Structure 1
Amino acid sequence: MSLRHAILTLLETEPASGYDIVRHFKESLGYFWNAKHQQVYQELRRLSDEGWLHCAEQAQSDKPDKKVYSISPSGRAELRRWLGQPAAPNKINDALLVKLFAGALAEPDDLRAEMARHRTTHQATLASLLDIQRQYLALDAAEQARQRLPYLTLRRGILGEQAWLAWADEVDAELAARADQSSEKPVGK
């Protein structure tokens, strides 16, 4: 997936400013696709240059004019073309997993502290996702039906975070056992 297709996906729903798109990334797509503020603005410019977006300036009384982007017919055609292409399986680069793989060389307490930091992040993400799920479940049936596919991406995120936390329990148990074993060894042996 590319950033351009993520932006086209967001704009398919409704026109938005660059600021709004960055905010939407943080609140929705950002759970599974990351983009920096500057990257979004650069891609908006390229998409406009390619004719995949329309851009209209909106006057603001207390700020510079705001650019509001909407998807063009050629942008919609590109989005449909992309949607018809197979998606590559996700590959991960996870430094924590590399550290655990080499964990026999590390101090158990260092790995335990690292796991605790990651656990805090995953617990916070899960709490945010569960809050979004509560909002979805409070919608009327017609709106829930309309939002069903985005909801299923949310469910994937929830299940992923729950699985990560269950895995972390296994890792923590192993690290605790290793710490206990190292503390039982006589000094100098």
Structure 2
Amino acid sequence: MKYYLAPLEGITDHIYRRTYHKLFEPMDKYFIPFLTPNENGKLSKRQRQDVLPENNEGMYAVPQILTNKTEEFLSAEAYLGSLGYEEINLNLGCPSRCVVSKGRGAGFLADPDGLRRFLDEIFEKSNIRISIKSRIGVRDVEEFGALLDLYNRYPLEELILHPRTGKEFYKGSPHREVYRYAMKESRHPLCYNGDLFTKEQYEDWEKKFP
């Protein structure tokens, strides 16, 4: 079993990650809260500080990128590769209205043709392993079948799945049956995300989804 530190904007910055890594049981991966490259693929000063190798020393850190433009993604990827990163994560899961309204995060799932073109180009040109964090659709769980078919076309490092739609935000319960479908049909290593708040919930989940 592997355990990851999920990214939480404004909370799990490099100070939090270093402190956690030093004082507690180390995580297998630490995901850096999403980076938002500008039109030239550049990161803000704060984001550059967060990805500096000396601020993530001794841990396997994975930067997460939030964009729907290939040139922004590839430019940010080139910069991160120059710092020594071997894996980056594409955020297709954030349900925040200000993100979704710009067609980013979970909002990008509403444009399957655009998403396919985006993935075609970044996987053709990328030199770094790419994982994806995703919701199961924008409004309806029925969207997930076609979405998983799309993901299965690419050599993902892994698929991190939060089994809610973007519209559901964090309300209701995760759709366990959709995650079970993903376990059966995904070509890639699968990671679960969402609503495991206690040891008992984790043990129950592990029993039902070994």
User: Relative to total residues, which structure has the larger strand share, 1 or 2?
Assistant: 2
- Shorter-chain-normalised TM-score: which range? under 0.3
Q: TM-score, normalised by structure 2?
A: 0.23
User: Relative to total residues, which structure has the larger helix share, 1 or 2?
Assistant: 1
Larger Rg, first or second structure (1 or 2):
1
Q: TM-score, normalised by structure 1?
A: 0.25
